[in-house]
Amino acid sequence: MIAEREVGDVSPDAKPARKNDVEWHEEPEPVPENPSQHTKNNKDNAVTDDQLEHDDEEAGNADASKSRLIPFLKRYWILHLCAAIGLAILANLSLWQFDRLDQKVALIERAEVRAKEAPVAAPGPASWAELSSDEIDYMPVEVSGQFIIGELFYFDTLTKPKGPLGGQGYFVYAPFITNDGWTVLVNRGFVPIDRKDFSTRLGSAPPRGQMTITGLARRAEVASMFSAEPNLSTNEWYVREPKAMAEAMGMLADQTAPYTIDLQETVSVAGDLPQAGETRMTFSNNHLQYAFTWAGLALTLVGVYFAFLIKAWFNQDKPVVKDDDEDEDDDYDAEEEKRKADRYKMISDAARRPRK
Q: What is the pLDDT of residues 52-82, one digit of tens each?
A: 555 555 655 555 556 777 887 788 888 889 9
- CA dihedral of residues 73, 78, 84, 88 (deg, nearest 10): 180
pLDDT exceeds cutoff 90 at 170: yes
Q: How confident is the model at residue 329, as a pLDDT?
A: 63
SS3 content of the chain, % helix, strand, coil (to 5): 45, 15, 40
Give me the residues paired with residue 121 across strands. 142
pLDDT score, position 222: 86
Q: How many CB atoms sit inside 10 A of residue 168's CB? A: 12
pLDDT > 90 in the chain, percent:
27
- How much is the pLDDT for 8? 47
Q: What is the pLDDT of residue 330?
A: 64
Q: If you compute the radius of gyration of the chain from its CA atoms, what whole number of angstroms results?
A: 50
The residue ranking higher by pLDDT, 303 or 271, is 303
User: Can you give the pLDDT at residue 171?
Assistant: 94
Q: What is the pLDDT of residues 171-193, one digit of tens each?
A: 999 999 999 899 999 999 999 99
Question: Cα–chain-centroid distance for residue 292?
Answer: 9
What share of the chain in percent tops pLDDT 70? 75
Maximum CA extent, the chain: 177
Q: Helix (H, G, I), strand (E, B), or coil: what is residue 292?
A: helix
Q: CA 38, 43, 49, 55 torsion: positive or negative?
A: negative
Per-residue model confidence as pLDDT tens digits over 219-244: 898 888 888 899 998 999 999 999 99
* Half-sphere exposure for 42 (CA within 13 Å, toward CB): 6
The pTM of this model reads 0.57
Whether the predicted pLDDT of 3 surpasses 50 = no
pLDDT one-digit tens code per residue, 6-52? 444 444 454 444 545 445 445 555 555 555 555 555 555 555 555 65
Q: Which of 63-72, 81-90, 198-207, 294-303 has the lowest mean pLDDT?
A: 63-72
Strands 152-158 and 183-192, by their bridges, are: unpaired
d(CA 144, CA 270): 21
pLDDT of residue 285: 75
Determine the average pLDDT of the residues in 182-207: 90
Query: H or E segment at 45?
Result: helix 35-75
Predicted confidence at residue 337, as pLDDT, reads: 82
